Structures are given as structure tokens and as C-alpha cells.
């Protein structure tokens, strides 16, 4: 069945929506009206234009209820609600349309004018407008109604002086020492929210200096507005009558760890130390000897005799959780019996199941018309050698097949086995320590993979690595692998592929015997939250070096290449960065931007990067208007002779993406995007136009497109449709193809439209 979109279809859709919009008003109950929203108008001579606008926006956000949402000027969700009628079942299509997509009408009868006036009045007074006055009224126009609020702010009050209590008791003395860090600044506007934040700031500082039982509610900040000249004085004091033990600075006494605690068991304060093992300043009760006491050495940040502080408290809990050994971590701090300022610390840890099996199935489709699936079966053993180690063994198998077309039969199959073990500490001859709430890890892995490309070749890959991973906080993560080894060996090559190499020597790169021995470092910084409307920046940088020591030992050079184990080892420096910047344009709208830069310098034993380390451009998460891995290098274009399409790679990469994302309704999100980029070779003597040069910007591929995403929180299904705007392989002066766009031409659509189906967002 075929569907045709004519020039009249657009007007049919518009008229249908407009008709539904008119129907919205017909279904308003008699004597009521559809509430279209409220507005706030401020009358003030003391506020600047920008301040006035900001205050109006803040006050407007407080109005309740919110009117029905609009999309392209129409109340689409209300229309869907009315269109659904009264479904008999919520699970039906009409039930889903009404309850999930649609929303009921917001009526004038739901508007509490006095409540909104009171909220605005209180907000103004809390921000220093002590003489503010608010009036409100509603306007009814037919079946629609709105509300208007008129605000007279009066003069705003500012802080003249801030006074801290100079009583020389320990708590007041500590507060006074940090007075310079106060959020209450002379000359700033009076703001109740800042006053509350100041109490929290003082509490946080005191928690760092031993005052475990202190609470922000112990503080009172008095306001004197009688000093004149529209100013106030603030007085920071302790409330009277607080118990003495709540105002003590406590030190750490004994530390107890119960690593086999069962949920539901009674938590008793046990200081007998019977059957406990003492190690590095703490006691461990583990009668079955399931955990080596040294496991907790890096996790426990407290030390006997030092002042309690909240940083070490939180870091210890975080590290115990991040050991990934315990389902639950519970902590208690109890004063030592008697009149002392000491705390005994107790950690109750409930173990996770020691062994587990997991399975994972993935499905994928690519813009080169390959469809595939993969399955992974993994076994995990926690606390393998009783020191918190994690041993894993994963078996993976997968395939990608081309179901039709002239290139059918060139299918890809792969299977592999990987084993890894992780230690919850730095395994090193040096005494490395990692600050913060994250346990460092030492990772060792070894693996094998067999890649079979039907009718072309078969490759065997062996890899191993040794390295470290650590975090300093939630935003910064680093990995350093001082030893990474990769060995790739062709097991078989078809005569067809061998003949193709004679026509295009570049194809030999894919089946080269490769031996990589080197080190790499990765740094990741992220301010983002895990949702589509995240804002802030993301940065990932990677440095990869190979063959430096081997080159020095063997004396390898371009004119005197050397081999190890019968394979020519690679020498290169490879750098790659991924920078993203997300700008929030509205509550349900964000502009996502990404720039990818990759560069490498092959030297000594290598003329170019090994194939497994090269850069690619084009595809589902790259340039979406081009087939996967089909762009470049440079202006080079591979001309297939009715056979297969190879992966086109380079030593240098530049890619830029920008995408406007917006929520349409319910779980449905939309996007409009533009991509640009290419890859180049460092030495381009084998391919015409492939070498990187000063004219690289003139060789960028550009595409544009639209996308729709179904975001159900735990899964995002994405469909993007894109087409080229600029083709770098065309002659100079003819590369822009915007004037050739013809959506009505079936030939143009077949040659240019690329459909990308993916899981998750592209970046």
C-alpha cells in the first residue's frame, strides 16, 4: 500500500486541527470559561528594565493553575483530550489518547485569585519589597478567560550591616572565623532565600569542624528594618536553650565494620570487640572470613582521634557503596557513654549475591542497509579472592546481514571471548591515593575476537590491557592504561578481495597484520544530568601512544621497518576530543552541539594508523545524511564495481553537529539537525585528494535532517531522516547540492535520503 502526500494534504491536516480547536470551546461547561493564563504587570520606578522583566517572569511562574499547553499556537493536547471522547477502557487507543497524550481543559472556576495574590505578596516581601501591594482581576471574553495581576513594588530594602554574635563560646567563635565567607553582603537586597542558604552554609562549615549534632534550625537571623533609609541590619545568633551536647565538637573514637550484616537483624551498639580483627585503625567482625580486612583500607576515611567532618563521612559511605559488593550500607555514629565529646562509628554492610549470570541482546540497523543483532552472555564473581575483586567472563556473538540489493551476501559475523578482573585499589609499587568518594580500580583484561566478512576476509584479533580508573568527584573521571596490546592477524582473504586490492591499494589496510603495543590516557568531564533536557558541557579527551619503547629498542624507522612476533608493530601518536555544549532554550527545548576533533601522527615504523585505530565519518551517530563510514578521506570517492562497499577511514577527523530538540507531546520528541565533517590521511600519496591540507574546510561534507524520538525514560527509540547538502567528492565549485533538492523526485529520494534507526540519542 502506498500513501501520497499532495499539496492539499497539509490544508486538510490544518483544517482538522482547527476544527478540533473550535470544538474545545463548545465542550466548556455552561457558566464557565476556558482559562488561557495570567499576566503580571509591575509598576516600579526603582527597578531597572532588566530587573523588572526578570521579576515579572519569576512572579508569573508562581501563578496557578497553568493554562493548557500550546503547540504552534494551538492547544493540541486539549484537542486530543476532547477528540478521544469518553473511552470505555483506559488501555484502548482512545484511552491512551485521552489520558497520555491529551490533557483536560483548565477552567476559570479553578482559578483562586486570592490565593495567587497572597503568594505574590509573600514572595515580594521575602525578596525585600516590604511595602508591596498586589491586585488581581479576571477578564472573560466569550468562552475564554484570563487573569491580570497589577503589582506596586514600592521601594526595595537593602542590607546595611551584618552582625555576628561575638560571644566567645566555641560555636560562635567558629562561626565568626568564617564570617568573610558569608552569603549576606552589605549593599545586597534583602532576600529570605539567601538568609536560609546562609544558615545551611554555617551548618555545613560547622559539620566540617566536628559539630556532628548541629542543625541549621539552631540559628536565628534577626532583621531590624527600623534603621531607616530603606535598609536593614541583620543579626546572626544562636537560639537560646540548646542543649550543651548538641554544641560540642566531636572527635572519632573507635570504628567498627560489620561486612556480613543481615537485613532485619537488630542493630546493637557493640563495643566489646569480641571476635573482631583490628586492622589499620578499625575493627572488623567477619567470623566466616569472607573479606580481607585490608579491603576497607581505602574506603574508611575516618581516623581515630581526629575531628569529625562531613566530607570524610560522605566519602566513606560513597566508597563503600562504590565497592559494588554490598546491597545496603548503613552507618551509625554514637557518643561514647559518659561526659565526653567522642563518637564511635559503626558501618553495617549487607553483601550482594556473590555470583551472577547476565544476558544481553541488541538489534541494530545502519544507513548502509545492514541489519544485525548480537548476544552477550556474561558470568560475574564478586569478591573473587576475598579482597573485593570482580572477575568477569563474557562471550559475545553477532551478525550483520544485507537482505537485498546488489550488495547482498556481503554479511558480517563476529564472535569473541573476554575475561577481566578489577581490583578496588591501585595495584602499584607506588603509594597512590585517590581523594573523594570513589574507590580507584585497577583493571586487567584479555580477549579474543574473530571477524568474518563473507566473500572477503576473516580476521583474528587478540588484545590485553592493564590500567587504572579513578574519579575525583562526580564530574571528573580518568583512566590510564600503561600497557595495551592488540594483535590482528588475517586468517583468510578471498581472491575477490585480493583482486580488488590491485585496483585500489587502500583496501589492503583492512587486512594488514597489526601489532600495537603502547599506552593510553582518557579524561572525562561532564556537567550533564541523565535526561534529554540536560544543560552544560561535556568533554572527553583521549591520548593514545604506541610503539615508542619498541621503536627505541629495535631502532625502527620508515626506511628500516622492524617486526615483533612476525608482525610489523605500529608507531603513532593519536589524540581525540569530544566536546559538547547543551543550551536550554525553554522548559522542553534544548540546543545540543558537538565538535569532534581527532588527529594522529604515524611515524617511524608506520606510514598511517593501523586500521582498528583510524577515524571514520558518516552514519547513525555521525554524518546522518551519508552512509555509515562512507565519507572521505578528503575528496576521495571509492567507485564500487558492483561488488562491496568498504569502510573509508582516515588519520585525521573533524566533525560538527548541532541539533534542536523539543518535546512534542507525551513521550514523543522531535529534532532538527545539521551535521558537517570529514576524515583525511596524514600521508595521502596512495589516494588522490585524501591528504590533509590547508584547504580542509572546503572539503567538509554537510547534511541536514529531521528526527523523531520515543523517550520512555529507560529506552529511547530514534528515527532520523537526513540528506546531503554538500558532497566533498564532487569537483570544486559543484559541491553544494542544495539547489538539487527535490523531495518530489523518486530518483532523488533514492539517491539522497538516508534513514537512521537507532537506540539512544546521537550525542
Domains, the chain, in order of start with CATH, read 1-30+69-104 (no CATH), 36-65+108-156 (3.10.20.310), 158-247 (3.10.20), 251-351 (3.10.20.310)
Task: List C-alpha distances in Å: 653 to 17, 65, 405, 542, 625.
Answer: 46, 51, 31, 14, 17
Question: Torsion angle of alpha carbons 754, 757, 759, 763, nearest 10°?
Answer: 10
Examine the pLDDT at 544 and tell me if it is beyond 80.
yes
| Closest C-alpha to 29, from 110, 84, 149, 126 | 110
Question: Torsion angle of alpha carbons 79, 80, 85, 87, nearest 10°?
Answer: -170
How much is the pLDDT for 750? 86
| Closest C-alpha to 624, from 677, 669, 661 | 677
The residue that leads in pLDDT, 482 or 85, is: 482
Task: List C-alpha distances in Å: 29 to 25, 78, 355.
Answer: 9, 15, 62
Examine the pLDDT at 366 and tell me if it is beyond 90.
no
How much is the pLDDT for 686? 67
Burial class (CB in 10 A: 0-12, 13-18, 19+), 445: middle
The helix (run of H) or strand (run of E) holding residue 552 is: helix 548-554
pTM of the model: 0.75
- Three-state secondary-structure class, residue 152: strand
Q: How far apart are the C-alpha atoms of 370 and 628, rounded to whole Å?
A: 10
Q: Does residue 102 come out as left (phi exceeding 0), alpha (psi in the -120 to 50 range) or beta? A: beta
| Closest C-alpha to 705, from 668, 750, 660 | 660
Q: Mean pLDDT lowest for which of 354-358, 546-550, 551-555?
A: 551-555
Q: How far apart are the C-alpha atoms of 484 and 521, rounded to whole Å?
A: 11
Q: How far apart are the C-alpha atoms of 181 and 187, rounded to whole Å?
A: 15
Q: Mean pLDDT lowest for which of 173-182, 235-244, 562-571?
A: 562-571
The helix (run of H) or strand (run of E) holding residue 389 is: none
String of b and e for 388-399 (b: at least 16 CB within 10 Å)?
A: bbbbbebebebb
Residue with cell 560513597: 318
How much is the pLDDT for 684? 66
Task: List C-alpha distances in Å: 692 to 104, 233, 586, 597, 695.
Answer: 59, 67, 40, 14, 8
How much is the pLDDT for 270? 59
**Range list of H helices, 3-139:** 9-26, 49-60, 76-84, 93-96, 113-126
Q: How far apart are the C-alpha atoms of 617 and 398, rounded to whole Å?
A: 23
How much is the pLDDT for 481? 95
Q: Read off the pLDDT band of 115 (50, 70, 90).
A: very high
Q: In this prediction, what percent of the chain has a pLDDT beyond 90?
A: 50
Examine the pLDDT at 567 and tell me if it is beyond 80.
no
Q: How far apart are the C-alpha atoms of 678 and 632, rounded to whole Å?
A: 6
Question: Torsion angle of alpha carbons 578, 584, 588, 590, nearest 10°?
Answer: -40
Q: How far apart are the C-alpha atoms of 212 and 208, rounded to whole Å?
A: 8
Query: Across-strand partners of 375?
Result: 361, 397
How much is the pLDDT for 405? 46
Cis bond upstream, residue 376 (ω within 30) = no
Q: How far apart are the C-alpha atoms of 401 and 758, rounded to whole Å?
A: 17
How much is the pLDDT for 113? 94
Q: How far apart are the C-alpha atoms of 712 and 720, rounded to whole Å?
A: 18
| Distance linking the first and last C-alpha atoms of the chain | 35
Task: State mean pLDDT over 261-286.
Answer: 81
How much is the pLDDT for 3? 38
Mean pLDDT of the chain: 86
CB atoms within 10 A of CB 659: 22
CB atoms within 10 A of CB 573: 16
How far, in whole angstroms, is CA 724 from its chain's centroid? 29
Task: State mean pLDDT over 205-226.
Answer: 94
Residue with cell 521575602: 126
Q: How far apart are the C-alpha atoms of 682 and 691, rounded to whole Å?
A: 6
Examine the pLDDT at 617 and tell me if it is beyond 60.
yes
The residue that leads in pLDDT, 83 or 748, is: 748
How much is the pLDDT for 10? 44
pLDDT tens for each residue of 89-114: 877 878 888 888 888 999 999 999 99
Q: Read off the pLDDT band of 1 (50, 70, 90).
A: very low
How much is the pLDDT for 294? 92
Q: How far apart are the C-alpha atoms of 535 and 557, rounded to whole Å?
A: 48
The residue that leads in pLDDT, 231 or 758, is: 231
Cell representation of residue 113: 485569585
Task: State mean pLDDT over 259-263.
Answer: 88
Query: Across-strand partners of 361?
Result: 375
CB atoms within 10 A of CB 724: 27
Task: State mean pLDDT over 304-308.
Answer: 94
Task: State mean pLDDT over 606-613.
Answer: 80
pLDDT tens for each residue of 399-457: 877 654 445 567 888 999 999 999 998 988 877 777 677 889 999 999 999 999 888 88
Examine the pLDDT at 36 and tell me if it is beyond 80.
yes
Q: Residues 6 or more apart from 3 whose CB is under 8 A from it? A: none
Residue 309 in contact with residue 210, Cβ under 8 Å? yes
Residue 460 in contact with residue 477, Cβ under 8 Å? no
Task: State mean pLDDT over 636-642.
Answer: 65
pLDDT tens for each residue of 645-665: 667 888 899 999 999 998 887
The residue that leads in pLDDT, 33 or 370, is: 33
**Range list of H helices, 337-488:** none
In angstroms and rounded to an integer, the radius of gyration of the C-alpha atoms of the chain is 33
| Closest C-alpha to 455, from 616, 631, 645 | 645
Q: How far apart are the C-alpha atoms of 693 and 150, rounded to whole Å?
A: 64
| Closest C-alpha to 79, from 21, 121, 161 | 21
The residue that leads in pLDDT, 299 or 665, is: 299
Q: Mean pLDDT lowest for which of 92-96, 130-134, 672-676?
A: 92-96
How much is the pLDDT for 364? 61
Q: Read off the pLDDT band of 11 (50, 70, 90).
A: very low
How much is the pLDDT for 513? 84
The residue that leads in pLDDT, 268 or 367, is: 268
Q: How far apart are the C-alpha atoms of 682 and 673, rounded to whole Å?
A: 30
- What is the side-by-side order of every strand in the sheet holding 277-279? 277-279, 282-284, 251-258, 342-351, 326-335
Task: Strands of 45-198 (E only): list them.
Answer: 133-141, 144-152, 158-164
How much is the pLDDT for 9? 44
Task: List C-alpha distances in Å: 358 to 231, 323, 373, 377.
Answer: 65, 19, 17, 6
Q: Mean pLDDT lowest for which of 156-170, 200-214, 401-415?
A: 401-415
Q: How far apart are the C-alpha atoms of 275 and 237, rounded to whole Å?
A: 48
CA atoms within 13 Å, Cβ hemisphere of 120: 31
pLDDT tens for each residue of 330-344: 999 999 988 789 999
Cell representation of residue 479: 583512566
Examine the pLDDT at 575 and tell me if it is beyond 90.
yes
How much is the pLDDT for 2? 37
| Closest C-alpha to 700, from 734, 675, 677, 674 | 677
Amino acid at each position: 500500500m502506498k500513501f501520497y502526500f499532495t499539496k492539499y494534504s497539509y490544508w486538510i491536516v490544518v483544517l482538522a486541527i482547527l476544527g478540533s480547536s473550535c470544538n474545545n470551546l463548545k465542550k466548556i461547561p455552561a457558566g464557565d470559561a476556558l482559562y488561557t493564563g495570567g499576566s503580571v504587570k509591575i509598576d516600579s520606578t526603582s527597578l531597572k528594565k532588566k530587573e523588572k522583566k526578570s521579576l515579572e517572569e519569576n512572579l508569573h511562574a508562581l501563578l496557578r493553575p497553568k493554562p493548557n499547553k500550546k503547540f504552534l499556537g494551538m492547544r493540541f493536547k486539549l484537542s486530543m483530550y476532547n477528540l478521544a471522547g469518553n473511552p470505555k477502557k483506559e488501555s484502548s487507543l482512545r484511552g491512551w489518547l485521552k489520558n497520555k497524550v491529551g490533557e483536560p481543559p483548565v477552567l476559570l472556576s479553578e482559578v483562586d485569585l486570592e490565593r495567587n495574590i497572597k503568594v505574590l505578596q509573600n514572595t515580594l516581601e521575602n525578596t525585600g519589597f516590604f511595602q508591596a501591594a498586589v491586585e488581581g482581576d479576571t477578564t472573560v471574553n466569550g468562552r475564554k478567560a484570563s487573569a491580570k495581576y497589577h503589582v506596586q513594588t514600592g521601594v526595595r530594602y537593602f542590607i546595611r550591616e551584618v552582625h555576628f554574635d561575638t560571644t566567645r563560646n566555641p560555636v560562635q567563635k567558629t562561626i565568626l572565623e568564617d564570617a568573610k565567607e558569608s552569603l549576606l553582603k552589605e549593599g545586597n537586597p534583602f532576600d529570605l532565600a539567601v538568609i536560609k542558604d546562609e544558615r545551611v552554609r554555617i551548618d555545613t562549615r560547622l559539620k566540617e569542624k566536628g559539630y556532628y549534632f548541629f542543625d541549621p534550625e539552631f540559628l536565628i537571623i534577626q532583621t531590624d528594618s527600623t534603621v531607616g533609609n530603606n535598609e536593614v541590619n541583620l543579626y546572626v545568633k544562636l537560639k537560646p536553650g540548646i542543649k550543651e551536647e548538641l554544641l560540642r565538637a566531636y572527635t572519632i573514637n573507635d570504628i567498627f565494620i560489620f561486612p556480613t550484616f543481615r537485613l532485619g537483624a537488630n542493630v546493637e551498639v557493640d563495643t566489646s570487640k569480641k571476635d573482631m580483627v583490628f586492622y589499620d585503625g578499625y575493627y572488623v567482625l567477619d567470623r566466616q572470613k569472607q573479606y580481607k580486612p585490608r579491603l576497607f583500607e581505602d574506603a574508611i576515611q575516618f581516623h581515630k582521634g581526629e575531628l569529625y567532618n562531613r566530607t570524610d563521612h560522605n566519602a566513606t559511605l560513597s566508597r563503600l557503596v562504590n565497592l559494588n559488593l554490598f546491597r545496603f550500607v548503613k552507618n551509625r555514629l554514637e557518643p561514647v557513654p559518659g561526659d565526653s565529646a567522642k563518637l564511635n562509628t559503626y558501618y553495617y554492610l549487607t553483601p550482594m549475591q556473590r555470583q551472577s549470570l547476565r544476558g544481553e541482546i541488541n538489534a541494530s540497523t545502519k544507513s548502509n542497509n545492514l541489519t544485525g543483532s548480537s548476544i552477550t552472555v556474561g558470568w560475574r564473581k564478586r569478591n573473587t579472592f576475598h579482597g573485593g575483586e570482580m572477575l568477569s567472563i563474557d562471550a559475545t556473538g553477532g551478525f550483520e546481514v544485507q537482505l537485498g540489493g546488489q550488495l547482498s551476501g556481503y554479511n558480517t559475523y563476529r564472535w569473541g571471548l573476554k575475561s577481566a578482573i578489577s581490583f578496588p585499589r591501585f595495584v602499584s609499587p607506588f603509594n597512590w591515593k585517590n581523594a573523594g568518594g570513589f574507590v580507584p580500580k585497577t583493571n586487567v583484561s584479555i580477549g579474543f575476537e574473530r571477524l568474518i566478512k563473507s566473500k572477503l576476509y576473516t580476521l583474528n584479533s587478540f588484545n590485553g590491557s592493564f590500567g587504572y580508573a579513578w574519579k575525583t568527584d562526580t564530574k571528573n573521571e580518568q583512566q590510564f592504561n600503561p600497557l595495551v596490546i592488540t594483535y590482528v592477524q588475517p586468517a583468510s582473504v578471498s581472491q575477490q578481495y585480493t583482486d580488488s586490492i590491485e585496483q585500489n591499494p587502500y583496501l589492503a589496510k583492512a587486512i594488514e597484520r597489526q601489532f600495537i603495543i603502547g599506552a593510553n590516557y582518557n579524561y572525562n568531564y561532564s556537567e550533564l544530568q541523565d535526561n534529554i533536557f540536560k544543560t552544560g558541557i561535556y568533554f572527553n579527551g583521549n591520548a593514545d601512544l604506541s610503539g615508542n619503547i619498541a621503536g627505541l629498542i629495535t631502532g625502527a624507522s620508515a626506511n628500516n621497518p622492524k617486526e615483533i612476533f612476525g608482525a610489523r608493530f605500529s608507531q603513532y601518536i593519536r589524540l581525540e576530543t569530544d566536546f559538547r555544549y547543551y543550551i536550554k532554550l525553554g522548559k522542553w527545548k534544548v540546543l545540543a552541539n558537538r565538535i569532534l576533533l581527532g588527529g594522529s601522527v604515524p611515524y617511524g615504523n608506520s606510514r598511517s594508523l593501523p586500521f582498528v585505530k583510524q577515524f571514520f565519518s558518516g552514519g547513525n551517530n555521525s554524518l546522518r545524511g551519508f552512509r555509515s563510514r562512507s565519507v572521505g578521506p578528503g575528496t576521495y570517492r571509492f567507485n564500487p564495481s558492483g561488488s562491496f562497499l568498504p569502510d573509508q577511514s582516515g588519520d585525521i577527523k573533524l566533525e560538527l553537529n548541532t541539533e534542536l530538540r523539543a518535546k512534542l507531546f507525551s513521550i514523543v520528541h522531535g529534532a532538527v539537525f545539521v551535521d558537517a565533517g570529514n576524515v583525511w590521511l596524514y600521508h595521502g600519496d596512495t589516494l588522490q585528494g585524501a591528504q590533509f591540507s590547508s584547504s580542509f574546510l572546503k572539503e567538509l561534507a554537510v547534511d541536514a535532517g529531521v528526527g523523531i524520538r520515543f523517550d520512555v525514560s529507560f529506552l529511547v527509540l530514534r528515527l532520523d531522516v537526513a540528506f546531503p547538502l554538500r558532497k566533498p567528492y564532487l569537483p570544486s565549485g559543484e559541491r553544494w547540492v542544495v539547489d538539487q533538492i527535490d523531495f518530489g523526485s523518486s530518483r532523488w529520494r533514492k539517491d539522497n535520503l538516508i534513514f537512521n534507526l537507532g537506540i539512544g540519542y546521537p550525542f
